[in-house]
Amino acid sequence: MSTVYILWLRQIKKYFRSRSRIVGALGQPLLFLVAFGFGFGSIFQRAGGGDYIQFLAPGIIMMSVLFTAVFSGIDLIWDRQFGFLKETMVAPVSRLEIMIGKTLGGATVAAFQGLLVFVLTLFVGFRPYNLLMLPVAVLFIFLVAILFTSLGIAVASKLEDMQGFQLIMNFLVMPIFFLSGAIFPLEGLPKAMEIITNLDPLTYGIDGLRHSLINTGKFGLATDLVVIGSITAVLLVIGSYFFERIQA
C-alpha cells in the first residue's frame, strides 16, 4: 500500500507544482459557462427550461473532470518514454498496486479540478438547492474521475506516443461529452439519439450530479449511482488488465 500512496502523492505534487496548468484548465469551463450559459439562457428560459446556468453548471463541472481524468494517461506515456515507468516496474511491487496508485492520483487531480470549477460556477450565478447534498455530489465527481482515469490509463497502456494518445482521446472525449446531456436536456430526443445518450457513461454522472445539486434529472439518483459505480468497477478491471501487460 505504500507504493499506492507514493504514486498517488506523486501525481498530486506534479499537479500543484504547475500553477499555469491549474489556471489554464479553468479557461475552457469558464468559456462554456459564459458563452453557453448567457448566450442560450434566454432561449432555454423561453422554452420553459428555467435558469440555464442552473442546468448547465453540473455538466460543465463534469466536463472538467472528464478532460482532466482521461488526459492523465499522458503521464503514463511520459513515464514510459523517460524511463521512470521501467524503474517502477522493476521494483518489488505488483503492477496492480502501481496502476491503483496512478489511477487514484489522476482521479484525485481530476476531482479537485471539478471542485474548482464548482466554485467558479458560484461566481456566475449557480446556486445548489441543498448544501447537505454536497457530499453526494462529491461522490459522483470522484466516481466519474476514477472511471475516466481508468479509461485513460487503459488506452495509454496500449500506445507509445503522445500524438496517437491525444488523437484517440479526442475522438472519444468529444462525443462522450456532447452526447451526455451536459448542454441540452435528455427529454424529447429522437429515438436513436436517446439510445446513444443512454449508453454514454457520463450521462449518468451528470444526471447524478444534477440530482445532487439542483434536485432534477432524468434517471433516479440510485440508478445513476449503481450505473456509474458498475461502469467504474468494470473499467478499473480493464485498465488493470492492460496495465499488467504493458511493455515498459
- pLDDT for the residue numbered 21: 63
Lowest model confidence (mean pLDDT) among 97-101, 163-167, 189-193: 163-167
- Provide the pLDDT confidence category of residue 212 given band limits of 50, 70 and 90: very high
- pLDDT for the residue numbered 158: 79
Which residue in the block uniquely carries the three cell numbers 457513461?
201
Q: Residue 115: what are its φ and ψ, rounded to 5°? A: -70, -35
Average pLDDT over residues 187-209: 92
DSSP letter string, 17-74: H-HHHHHHHTHHHHHHHHHHHHHSHHHHHHTT---HHHHHHHHHHHHHHHHHHHTTHH
Average pLDDT over residues 29-55: 84
Task: Give me the chain's average pLDDT, please.
Answer: 84
Question: Does position 4 have pLDDT exceeding 60, yes or no?
Answer: yes
pLDDT tens sequence across 48-96: 778 899 999 999 999 999 988 888 777 777 777 666 666 666 666 677 7
pLDDT tens sequence across 141-165: 999 999 999 988 888 887 777 777 7
- pLDDT for the residue numbered 237: 87
Give which of 122, 81, 88, 83 is closest to 105, Cα–Cα: 88
